[in-house]
Structure 1
């Protein structure tokens, strides 16, 4: 069974990843609109969307969301370490 620190970290990391992902999606959509002059594809799987546009959207969104999740989780880990004096167990480097 997980201890309270583990549960607390999971909640904090999950919340940070959610907020980071939400903000990233908004930012990526805004940049897409400015750079292409049109809305991003709502359904890239549709044959009505050009393949190059669908692939570009998938790559930009995938990389952007993962980078945002990574940055948010790292920021949460720094705050966790400030509050508890150590990194969460899952993030500690094994020496």
Structure 2
């Protein structure tokens, strides 16, 4: 998994191996830049084959540089904005809070 927006997105785990048919949960979190105006984002997951017997001693970087074929899985997501977040991001609410400090 590679992230081109390191300043705005955190991905955990950032890299790893999967066995055929195995499933893994990947957590994608937004950092301080907030939700895009349209409430949507696009993610691409890159993958390549590796072999435990021949690649066991290689670093992830070496495996990727040796890769002859790279696949891409593209996913879209829509953010759910709770009422609490709407109020938190509302300039009128922020102004009121700032004035009471």
Which category describes the TM-score, using the shorter chain as reference length?
Answer: under 0.3
More helix by share: 1
Question: TM-score scaled by structure 2?
Answer: 0.23
Larger radius of gyration: 2
More strand by share: 2
Q: Which has the higher contact order (CA 8 A, sep 6+)?
A: 1
